[in-house]
Structure formats: C-alpha cells, structure tokens
Amino acid sequence: MKNVFSKIALFLVAAVFVISSFGVQPVSAASNPFKDVSWSDEEILYLWNKGLINGVDKNSFGPSESVTREQAATLIGRALGLNGSLRKTSFPDVDPKRYSSGYIQTAYEKGIITGNSDGTFRPQETMTRGEMAYLLSRAFKYSNTGNVFFSDINVDTSSNSLYTAVSKIATAGVSNGTGTGTYSPSKKLIREEFAIFLARALNSSYRVTYQNVTIDNLRVTVNSLNIRTGPSTGYYALGKLNSGDAFAVYGYKGAWAYGKSGSYTGYVHSDYLAEAVPATASSRYITLDPGHGGHDGGATANGLREKDINLDVAKRVEAKLKAKGIKVYMTRSTDVFHSLSARVDKGVASGSDTFLSIHTNSAGAHGASGSETYYSASVGSDSKELATFVQNRLYVAMNHPNRGVKNYGFQVIRTNPLPAALVELGFITNDYDAAKLASGTYKDRAAAAIAAGIEDYYNWKAKN
C-alpha cells in the first residue's frame, strides 16, 4: 500500500500544471524538453516556454493524460492572476489545505466555475470538453456567438446552455471541434487539448477559424424557396433557390437547415429539402493533401524531391479512389505552394468529410526505413482509425518496416476540423526506401494500399 500511495502522491504533485505568473519571460527562447511533444506542438511549447505549464515529469508532458477539474481551475486561475491563497471553499469536498482550494474559491466567486447540483465540486473528477467550454467562455468573458453547428450538441441559445458555451469558444477561435461537425462534449479532456485551448485563449496567433462542415448534401424540392438570414420567416430573404439546386447542410436549428447553395449561405425550411444522392456515396469525399510544393521542395536525397513523390503518389491515390466511387478533392494537383492553414481551409471548404496528407520521410541516419502514419490526439478519435487503416495496408504493400501509428501535432492534422491523418510513405534518405519511392511499380503499390486503407476507413465509419 505504501508504494501505491507514494506513487499517487508523486503523480499528483507532478501532474499539477505549475505556473509562476502570467507574462514571465521565457527561460530560454524556445526549447522542448519533452520527448512526447513534437516541435510542431507550438501551443504546448509556447505555454512551457512562458513558464505557464510543466510536464508530468522532467522529460514528459503526458499529452494524452486526462485533466482533473481542480487542475483546470488552478491553471486558469493562475493564467488570469486570480487569488490562489489556500482557504476554505464553498464546496465540502475541497480540502482547504489542497493546492487548488484558493483558485477554486476565487473562480467560484467570479462565476467562472459552478459546482455540481448536489453542492460538491468533485475536484479530482476528469474534466470533459463540454465543461471546458463553460470554463473558458466564462474565464475569458467571451460573448460573441455565431452560426456554429456541431451535430452532437443541440442548438439551445439560452445563456447558460452547453451550445452557447461551445458557440462562444468556437467563435473566439479556441476550438473548431473534433471532426466532421462534432464537438464531443462528453469526451474526457486530455492535457494536449487543454494546452491548445489555453494557448489559443491567451495568444491570438494560435487561434483557428471556425468553419462550418457539411453534414448533409441535399437538394431543393420547390421553386422560389427563400434562403434567409435566420431560422424563421421573419428574417430577411437573401435570395431564392429553385427545385434541384444543391444545398450543403452545415446544421439544423429546429425545422430550419443552415447551409450553402451557390453563392448564398443561410437558412431554409427543411420541409423543402430532400436527399440529393444515396447517403453512402455522399458520405465518402476525401481531401488528399500532397505535402510541400513550389518553392517548398520538402526533403531531398538520392536524387529525389519529396514534393514530387508526394504529388505523384497522391494523384495515383486520387485515380484509384475515384474508380471506387469515392470523391476526391486535391489541395494541389500541380507543383504549387500552399501554406499549411490554406491546405486545411481548402479541404474543409471543398465539403469533403476526411483529410489525408501525404509526405515522405527523411532522417540523418541512413538506416531509418519504413512507413508511419500520424493522427493528432487533440482531434476526434476517427483520425486514429483513419491513420490505422492506412498504415496497416501501406507497410505491407511497401514490404518495409512498420513504424506504426503515432500521435504527433502536425499543423494540417492538429488544426483540422475533419478526421485527419498524415502518412509518411518511407524514407527518402534510405537507399532501399528511396529505390521504391523512385519506382512507378512501388508508387502504385503505395497508392493502392492508401486507397484501400481509406476504403477500409469508410466501411468502418458506415458500421459505426
């Protein structure tokens, strides 16, 4: 027993987010002491370099570990410079001697947190993403709401609703959901998500633009249908739609559908909309993102350029998917440069439901070989499934080492509102991998494997 207790105590001490004060100078300009945090996890490194968070131990951030309600209250309290003096709280289950008591009480007095309906706070319960939306919207006093739709949150515009809290943080650019129009309010919050949310709240350069995601592709069934600025006939009519016009639905408010048709974005009554195409076909539309391009060549070695391999393989995947009846949007089909955020934006704007970025790996060590596929744990669990289906096909087809499915914060998958994965085809720096990446036969095998993995994913989605 003694061992168990000391282990728990050690974990609690280490797991607390330690903050000295808001706005302290970074200890060093930019450093990353964590073996489980990538250099592209800028939000975590920003908070760490500002002295706002610590890891669970010296070399680990513990990105996938959960966040308790008292940890969240403490970190927010310190970030806002609230009074954290340990004291008696309004909650019988918060020990006045506990590190969190002062912040919990001050946050309670300021209306940032509320307890449970039975009068408790349950400090050591894991915080959910829904609770986090309430906490952040109150702590940072967000007031603006927009046409935000998540299929797993009922639209309820009353001031204390979950919808209103989530709409506020989405409108503020703090969250764009967990994939294809979902927010996952009951999902346990993990440290990586918490850090990303907080960094976005504190620093505008990390914010994301909430974008509506198409959840239904419908068609208009009558002529002269008004599309309006709000969900009732009392709102201004932007224009008229006609029978057969396509209507991409972003969400529903009661009997009204909000979405886009041609150049109009607004509300129409859902009685005048019907299924456009069989659901199975409309639900399979992927964005392929060939990495790099233009002045950004990516990795180069063995006479090969990454940007060329990525595009070649992506085009082969595109052809194979289209042959399977899966719609494809390409972020680039030529040798052009797009920023990482533009790639995400273009993919979402296309109306596709899934995102796959295609890259080629490189390493200083020539021995490094094999494929690996990434997902970001900060977005929905479907991303991990997508990465897994693709990876499980790819390494077999390439007949090279399986480096596995990994959680890593590449921007195009971390900031993506769609289920998203990033595949590394193989190492351009390895003689064996490079020979395959130069071979049309192997590029075709890789493409067939990726296309099959995407189809596996869609088949799995259809069953879940």
Residues 6-65 contacting Zn ion, CB under 5 A: none
Residues touching Zn ion, count (CB under 5 A)? 3
Span from 82-90, 97-105, 142-150, 283-291 in contact with Zn ion (CB under 5 A): 283-291
* Residue 187: CB minimum distance to Zn ion, A: 30
Binding to Zn ion by residue 130, rule CB under 5 A?
no
Q: Is 284 in the site for Zn ion (CB under 5 A)?
A: no
**How many angstroms separate the first and last alpha carbons of the chain?**
42
Answer yes or no whether residue 443 interacts with Zn ion by CB under 5 A: no
Radius of gyration of the chain (CA): 24
- Of 63-71, 97-105, 265-273, 356-364, the window that binds Zn ion (rule: CB under 5 A) is 356-364
Contact status: 426 vs Zn ion (CB under 5 A): no
User: Which member of 179, 291, 351, 370 binds Zn ion (CB under 5 A)?
Assistant: 291
Q: Which is nearer to Zn ion, 208 or 412 (CB)?
A: 412
Residues 397, 408 contacting (CB under 8 angstroms):
no
- Compute the least distance from the CB of residue 372 to Zn ion, in Å: 12
Alpha carbon distance 414, 204 (integer Å): 17
Six-digit token string for 76 = 């927010």
For the sheet with 285-290, list strands across it: 327-330, 285-290, 354-361, 420-427, 371-375, 402-407
Please report whether residue 298 would count as binding Zn ion according to CB under 5 A.
Answer: yes
Closest CB to Zn ion among 291 and 351? 291
Does position 179 interact with Zn ion (CB under 5 A)? The reply is no
Q: What is the dihedral of CA 91, 97, 103, 107, to 10 degrees?
A: 10
**Cβ-contact 210, 171 below 8 angstroms:** yes
Nearby residues of 350 by Cβ (< 8 Å), 6 or more positions away? 285, 287, 329
Instruction: Provide, rounded to whole angstroms, the least separation between the CB of residue 137 and Zn ion.
Output: 36
Task: Give the count of beta carbons closer than 10 Å to the beta carbon of residue 264.
Answer: 17
- Please state the closest distance from residue 292 (CB atom) to Zn ion, in A: 6
When the beta carbons of 359 and 384 are compared against Zn ion, the nearer one is: 359
- Which residue's CB is nearer to Zn ion, number 230 or number 404? 404
With CB atoms as reference, the residue minimizing the distance to Zn ion is: 359
Residue that has been written with the tokens 């349950």 in this structure: 122
Task: Tell me which DSSP letter residue 60 carries.
Answer: B
Choose between 134 and 375: whose C-beta lies nearer to Zn ion: 375
Integer Cα distance of 33 and 61 in angstroms:
9
Least separation in angstroms between residue 410's CB and Zn ion is 9
- Using CB under 5 A as the binding rule, whether residue 293 contacts Zn ion is answered as no
Nearest alpha carbon to residue 229 among 204, 206, 253: 253
Q: Which of 42, 70, 385, 424 is catalytic?
A: 424
User: Residue 102 or 298: which CB sits closer to Zn ion?
Assistant: 298
Residue type for 167, please?
S
In the Cβ-directed half-sphere of 315, how many Cα atoms lie within 13 Å? 10
CB under 5 A: which stretch of 132-140, 218-226, 247-255, 294-302 binds Zn ion? 294-302
If binding is defined by CB under 5 A, does position 359 make contact with Zn ion?
A: yes
Q: Which stretch binds Zn ion (CB under 5 A): 181-189, 249-257, 355-363, 376-384?
A: 355-363
Q: Which span sits near Zn ion by CB under 5 A: 139-147, 221-229, 318-326, 353-361? A: 353-361
| Nearest distance from C-beta of residue 310 to Zn ion, angstroms | 7
For the CB of residue 45, give the shortest distance to Zn ion in the complex, in Å.
Answer: 20
Concatenated DSSP letters for 352-403? -SEEEEEEEE--SSTT---EEEEE-TTS-THHHHHHHHHHHHHHHHHTS-EE
How far apart CA 358 and CA 287 sit, in angstroms, is 11
Is residue 424 part of the annotated active site? The answer reads yes
Give me 406's structure tokens: 């990994």
Of 69 and 359, which CB lies nearer to Zn ion in the complex structure? 359
CB of 277 within 8 A of CB of 222? no
Active site residues per annotation: 424
Residues engaged in binding Zn ion (CB under 5 A): 291, 298, 359
